[in-house]
Amino acid sequence: MTQEYRKTTEAIGRLTPQQYAVTQEAATEPAFRNEFWNNHDEGLYVDIVSGEPLFASVNKYDSRSGWPSFTVPVDPSNIVEKVDRTYGMVRTEVRSAHGDSHLGHLFDDGPAEAGGLRYCINSAALRFVPVADLEAEGYGDYKHLFEK
């Protein structure tokens, strides 16, 4: 199924102040006080602005950072990496390709057996779609990720 993912004025207008600050102004939400850091349900995490599929629960792990952490994106073409030199350090910023939302940062301290990467993502940049709702919400192509 082909879907067009993009940022719209309507989508931006529906964001909460926290979601706006994170996705549009590159803010960071508080650790351990965000919606998905401790979510263990199976499903797909999509961009809150564009709806593009970003991460799957099968690649989520407890990094003990207080933010949702993933080892890989579900579709690397939906992720853009940029150099971030703010706060006197050099990091890799992660943005959504179609929504241009700030998602978080990429670090090289993830689980070695899964490639060593940690996508440290703000919950405020994400919408969670449970496995049971994938088909109805247009993400049926991703159901295979959750088959055992």
Active-site residues, by number, are 120
Q: Cα–Cα distance between 54 and 99 in angstroms, integer? A: 11
Q: How far apart are the first and last CA of the chain?
A: 23
H or E element, residue 130 = strand 126-130
Q: Give Cα separations from 11 to 2, 25, 58, 71 (angstroms).
A: 20, 15, 27, 28
